Structure 1
Amino acid sequence: MSTSMIEMLGNAGATRPVGLYQLQKDVLEDFRYTDSDGSGIDVAVIDTGVAPVDGLDGDKVLHGPDLSFEGTDPQVAYLDTYGHGTHMAGIIAGDRDGHPGVAPGARIVSVKVAGHDGITTVPQVVAAIDWVVEHRDTDGLNIRVLNLSLGQAGVTDHRGDLLSAAAERAWNAGIFVVVAGGNRGAAPGHLDSPAIDPYVMTVGGADNSSGVDEELQPVTDWSSRGDGSRNPDLVAPGLSIASYRVPGSAVDVAAPSARYGSDLFLGSGTSQSAAVISGVAARMFDHFPNMTNDQLKETLRRNTETELDFGAEAIGTGVIDAEDAYEDPKYDRPPQSFAPAAGRGTGIAAPSGATWSGGGWSGATWSGATWSGLAWTGATWSGATWSGATWSGAPWSGATWSGATWSGATWSGATWSGATWSGATWSGNGWS
């Protein structure tokens, strides 16, 4: 099984123009276009975990398995020691007075695949996707959207790609898969995997520094271009988007200039752009529960705008116009019919035929930070910056925070407020 590097696709090339916070607040408000707020919709976020900060505390976030290297450490398991997953979750469905996400009524299902150093691999992400698929509607869950703000470089054809195959299994199971296109700019090449897969919703980054009017938003210089055959489906705001800060996390310590006030953080990248579209998708499914994945994808692609001369390789069909999409569902659009990725099939199994059984993954079980039966090595999520400040790690001692405290939620030892998955059932609203 592939052990290639998987990178976090946010926070690249960020800038912080004067008055940007208020602008970004307006940008997200522009996507809350209807009385449907995502209620009843669960959005799975496969990322670095989600911290119980204000707006993402209590029953707002449910935690699936922690498949990261930190998964066996009770002090940090499930928590976002890196700072990226919380940022995505806040954009998608944060529910805080004064700074809500795009779909504040939705709920987040977090599956952690990377720890404070951002290390993850293809097998970890594939296992996480397959867990989401198998548990999409168990024990009261209603996972209709999956956010993947990550990617693997160097994949030229989705048909032989394990990540693409896993993403297609989720898509065929009725989960709308939103993927960040990549932060490699106009350099020759392809979109990252699984963004390269033609079935999923691939999102590029729009430069929203000039205003909140979609017609004024060009593509950013860091948003990955397609190859003319597989391009981003569309672009969404992704420049210095304000979301929830995780005090003491790796990016928080490494990039203090990206902090805005005591509890917000500015991040840029196609990660943030994908999170915006995941929030839009949650609102759409709330209002149009019978819409299929293919119908929603085509609706969003057809409701875009731009007055600027950029090719499809950069912006796909253009900058998303969420309000028009809400008014134009067009249920009659035909299903997609691309060549499938290798090993797709109709089942929930991983490419090897392994499946989740209760809380374990049979066929290749998790044991601490190693696979039992499958060898793999780590890979860093590199090439990212926060608000123009590069980072290369952060102070860390064992499993303890480096002089940091939680904002908006208490955290003492291994006790915190949230909900975690235990076997095949949810174990209440707290754990210790």
Structure 2
Amino acid sequence: MHPSTAAQHTCAMMRLGGLRGFLSAVLAVALVAPALDTAWTSRTPSVTSLVDPSLRAGEVALVHTTTGHAGALSTSLAQLGATDLETDAAADTVVARLSPAALDAIRTDARVTVATSDITVVASGGIRGNKGFEKERLTDVAASLTATRAPFAWLRTTGEGVVVAIMDTGIADHPDLRGKVSARLDFVGDGNTQLDPAGHGTFIAGLVAANGSTRGVAPGASLVSLRVLDAQGNGKLSGVVKAFDWLLRNGKRLGVRVLNVSWGAPQATSYHKDLLSALVEAAWFSGITVVVAVGNDGPDAGTVTAPATDPFVVSVGSYNDMGTLLTSDDVASTFTARGPTLDGFAKPDTLAPGEHVLGLRVSGLVYSDASGAPIGSTTDRYIHMTGTSASSAFVTGVAALVKAARPSATPNDVKGAIVASGRQVQGSSVTAVDAFSALTRNGTANAGLVPSRLLAKILTTAHQLNVNGVSWENVNWDVVSWDGVSWETVSWETVAWETISWETVAWETVTWEGVSWEDSVSAE
């Protein structure tokens, strides 16, 4: 909607608070989201316990409690036969595999505010083949970087001063990443001592910011590793939410300005009701440009995965640079997921190289093809990947370059520059990223679009956002400043949730497809 009246130009009012846990808020509101009103009021709702009606005994549940009661609830559930217990007192959450008695108990326990299945998430895109690092394979590096025009952008900036967060399988030590990683956080909690037991995150990190024998798109940028996926590329929603919680608390202090998300889930609902959308939008409006892979389920329409379906991200598809330094032979990848989304967005927003891309390999890690046979040698330092994960990494690097060249640019500005500066490739109406042009090109992104109502509900119930009775759609979001929101100090413990019958709540689950670790490149 494009507001035009004086009332429609009302600016949202921001005020500060204290943070108890982004995790608490998003879990609670996610269950309430389908019943959200389009116009917000000042009513004070009553507290209720929201327990996923599809939750079954034997499943792992993510449970949010009233303030300060996570430890006591964990003890109670253990006494009732629950296993695999993990307690996060700071976030007032308990993860537990529920026994029948424990499941019955949480449905009536006054300490429980929200209980949901701790769903599994997996990475998108996979390692497809290995060529080692023979001299002739340097062409792969040069072809991909030349296709993005990153070397031309380096004449102005290499991304220095910008910190990029990689939310993935971790980032291992590698000679091409020496001194690059300023912080490593693990939200998997599986006891694995490897920095990256899967290799996917290290590969992404190298395409973004490597600065050794190979160079990433933004070799001057620094990295933060947020591990949310395990050695099989699987992760839990609880870990993803905790990672975003940490990012909102600490990202500004550490200088994080760009986030890469190279995983996704089939879109089940509008972005206004989707938990992953609320998470990425929180990062976006806090000043972090979020770059997301659209997934590899093309060429059919309507296959883009969440959270790439959200308008407030830079969603990225793949094209094949054909391994040449020419750009005239570049062609869109058939496997790239395509829109429209359930909300009618075309998607992806831009394209980048994503076929047979050369990147970093974790030393000592065994990479296997679809049959289980090992790929290459564990001493190899480089490997190939095909998928939109690689594409999103290239665009993440471009976002870092734009931010370094234009420090005051907002995420909308960065997205606008990337989309407006793109060049045509064969087989797609979506343009390919051009790093050099993006540094100076101005573009409009997300004009007139309404932010997630789920995120809005989180902020309004936490007294962080007030539109003074104006309909949510009638606010001119193009002129609203989010700078007044203190994302790291919002107080969520005072949030009271509406009493809602399950007939008014559409419980929406997120499912993920496994990574295909195929060796689709023949030896040369």
Deviation track 1:31-72 (CA, whole Å, cap 9, x = no partner) reads 2323301111000000000101112233x10334211142x4
Counterpart check, 1:25 vs 2:136:
no
Matches of residues 4-403 of structure 1 in structure 2 within 5 Å?
4-11=119-126, 21-29=138-146, 30-32=149-151, 33-35=153-155, 36-58=157-179, 60-70=180-190, 72-73=191-192, 75-76=193-194, 79-96=195-212, 98-138=213-253, 141-209=254-322, 211-227=324-340, 229-230=344-345, 231-249=347-365, 251=367, 256-257=374-375, 262-306=380-424, 308-310=426-428, 312=429, 316=430, 318-329=431-442, 333=444, 336-345=447-456, 382-388=514-520
Point out where structure 1 has 5 or more consecutive residues left out of the alignment.
Answer: 364-376, 390-432
Deviation track 1:138-158 (CA, whole Å, cap 9, x = no partner) reads 2xx110100000101243421
Which stretch has the larger CA shift, 297-306 or 21-30? 21-30
Indicate how the Cα distance of structure 1 residues 273 and 157 shifts in structure 2: closer, same or farther if over 3 A, else same.
same
- For 2:445 and 2:339, how far apart are their aligned partners in 1? 24
Superposition deviation, residue 160 in structure 1: 0.9
Q: Which residue of 2 aligns with 1:421?
A: none
Indicate how the Cα distance of structure 1 residues 215 and 261 shifts in structure 2: closer, same or farther if over 3 A, else same.
farther
- For 2:377 and 2:460, how far apart are their aligned partners in 1? 41
- For 2:206 and 2:441, how far apart are their aligned partners in 1? 27
Superposition deviation, residue 207 in structure 1: 1.1
Deviation track 1:203-248 (CA, whole Å, cap 9, x = no partner) reads 0011111534344322111111112732100110111111110133
Indicate how the Cα distance of structure 1 residues 206 and 128 shifts in structure 2: closer, same or farther if over 3 A, else same.
same
Indicate how the Cα distance of structure 1 residues 343 and 378 shifts in structure 2: closer, same or farther if over 3 A, else same.
closer
- TM-score, reference length from structure 1: 0.73
Give the number of equivalent residue pairs: 356
Indicate how the Cα distance of structure 1 residues 334 and 159 shifts in structure 2: closer, same or farther if over 3 A, else same.
closer
* Rg larger for: 2
Letter in 1 for 2:197: T
Deviation track 1:342-386 (CA, whole Å, cap 9, x = no partner) reads 4313978999x9x9989xx999xxxxxxxxxxxxx9987614234
- For 1:380 and 1:347, how far apart are their aligned partners in 2? 25
User: By percentage of residues, which structure has more helix?
Assistant: 2
- For 1:63 and 1:45, how far apart are their aligned partners in 2? 11
- For 1:348 and 1:243, how far apart are their aligned partners in 2? 40
Contact (CA 8 Å) 1:13, 1:222: kept in 2 or not?
no
Contact (CA 8 Å) 1:240, 1:387: kept in 2 or not?
no
Secondary structure at the counterpart of residue 226 of structure 2: strand
Which stretch has the larger CA shift, 244-253 or 340-349? 340-349
Deviation track 1:99-121 (CA, whole Å, cap 9, x = no partner) reads 11111110010010112122212
- For 1:362 and 1:334, how far apart are their aligned partners in 2? 34
- TM-score, reference length from structure 2: 0.61
Deviation track 1:304-350 (CA, whole Å, cap 9, x = no partner) reads 1225343x4xxx3x1112222223246xx476332322431397899
- For 1:144 and 1:329, how far apart are their aligned partners in 2? 19
Secondary structure at the counterpart of residue 86 of structure 1: helix
Q: Which residue of 2 aligns with 1:411?
A: none
CA RMSD of aligned residues (A): 3.4
Point out where structure 2 has 5 or more consecutive residues left out of the alignment.
Answer: 1-115, 465-485, 495-508
Aligned-pair identity in percent equals: 29
Superposition deviation, residue 190 in structure 1: 3.2
- For 2:422 and 2:236, how far apart are their aligned partners in 1? 34
Contact (CA 8 Å) 1:91, 1:101: kept in 2 or not?
yes
Contact (CA 8 Å) 1:5, 1:152: kept in 2 or not?
no
Q: Which residue of 1 aligns with 2:58?
A: none
